[in-house]
Structure 1
Amino acid sequence: MDLSTTMAGEQRAVFAELLQLHRGIVFKVAGSYCRLPEDRADLAQEIAAHLWQAYPRYDASRPFSTWMYRIALNVAISHLRSQRTPATVPLDDSAVEVADPQARDPLAEQQVHALHRFIHAQPALDRALLLLYLEDRGYREISEILGISETNVATKISRLKQRIRNEL
């Protein structure tokens, strides 16, 4: 067997394992930028294809999830810009997860719905910032993913938090 064929097969296997391990990132980003299930599936496929194309340039000394987020968000933002109408995600009861159905808190659910509406009304970059911030990503990681300075991340998040307080 040709050594280059073996290396390519190993590279595919490693990529497939990493993609499987971090697939939630792809679905979260696609779900944040597309309204319809078929659009989310198409965007997830497009993200996966871009990830595969970029994988040979991935620097293994850096976190895979950071690299993956950056590509996924760039693809999603490009996809959003190519649409004629802004993409939003419908808010229904499935958007709110409640661990114990008996412990449903209507006020908390209402606040979660309001937060979702706020997030989906934001421009693409602010939506990405909020998505990453709500995932407890640090400012440094967010800055690496989005390609903006940590200071810019901190400033934008602070302003978004203030807008959330004012609007909600």
Structure 2
Amino acid sequence: MDKELEHQFVSKLERHQNIAHKICRLYTHDRESHNDLFQEITIQLWKAYPKFRGDAKFSTWMYRVALNTAITLYRKKKRGIRTQDFDTVHFKIKTEEYDDETEQQLGLMYNAIKELNDIEKALVFLYLEDKNYKEISETLGISEVNARVKMNRIKTKLKSVLNP
């Protein structure tokens, strides 16, 4: 891959890395697993980037690749996530750190979301990212109507988990 393509990729990834971090929070339980999944998502994005045609926004494409990576790895090994070796990727990405106070504030919400199935987690994540139902349906590969129905059911489910 040429240097210009690599530069474009790194620039876009740095700009949108919060997407991957949020997905990592949904599918992992500790800092080490979070970092491993972030690394794996980065590798999968890097591998797929030459095929990115720009038909959708980079962030929409990144959501899809990152969610698919997390779900695939989560299903393969529910107790932990296996990752690939990062040595094949030669660039460095400046990562943002999340402080413990923020993590604690989000803890209750993420714990409730973690009780949902994989597709429900992805739908809630996109909803919380202020994606409209059209973008959600395109990212998850479901109809807009299906996305709306699922979201209403999820809201009911989360209310019952958070307010038993």
TM-score range, shorter chain: 0.7 to 0.9
Q: What RMSD over aligned residues (CA atoms) do the two structures have, in Å?
A: 2.1
Higher relative contact order (CA 8 A, sep 6+): 2
Aligned to 1:37: 31
SS at match of 1:122: coil
User: In 2, Cα distance between the equivalents of 1:45 and 1:166?
Assistant: 34
Normalised TM-score (structure 1): 0.77
* Runs ≥4 residues deviating over 4 A: none
1:80 maps onto 2:74 in alignment? yes
Per-residue CA deviation, residues 30-67 of structure 1 (Å, 9 max, x unaligned), is 11101111111111011001001111111224210000
Q: What residue ranges of structure 2 are gaps of 5+ in the alignment?
A: 82-99
Identity of aligned residues (%): 38
User: In 1, Cα distance between the equivalents of 2:116 and 2:80?
Assistant: 10
SS at match of 2:66: helix
Aligned to 2:9: 15
User: In 1, Cα distance between the equivalents of 2:8 and 2:133?
Assistant: 28
The equivalent position to 1:95 in structure 2, one of 93, 104, 110, is 104
Normalised TM-score (structure 2): 0.79
Aligned to 1:116: 110
Q: What residue ranges of structure 1 are gaps of 5+ in the alignment?
A: 98-111
Larger Rg: 1
1:39 to 1:116, Cα distance in 2 relative to 1, 3 A: closer
The equivalent position to 1:57 in structure 2, one of 31, 51, 60, is 51
